[in-house]
Structure 1
């Protein structure tokens, strides 16, 4: 269902589609075009609310990648 690609390529592909940001939260490295893929707005800072939302959506701690 999803392409099996390395995480760094997934990040680059996602950024090309969605624009630049400082933090990206992945539910899985392979999900590059999934509605569950979320990013944290760097202008708002790394807020606990964003992490809590991700936990509720993903069911476990997301992997955060600093760009």
Structure 2
């Protein structure tokens, strides 16, 4: 499993897995659409659109602040 970690995954393994997933995402033609989908759901687990769970949560908050400011 590359985009989703197994139960009990340790931090070093997670970092390696996420780095590999992000390398694939970096060249994916639907990366933006994938990220938009994951943020709109919101998907709680895995790497989507090149971002992990924490990064997507930050991006979701950023988008909400921008929408509220408009």
More helix by share: 2
Larger radius of gyration: 2
Normalised TM-score (structure 1): 0.30
Higher relative contact order, structure no. (Cα contacts within 8 Å, ≥ 6 residues apart): 1
More strand by share: 1
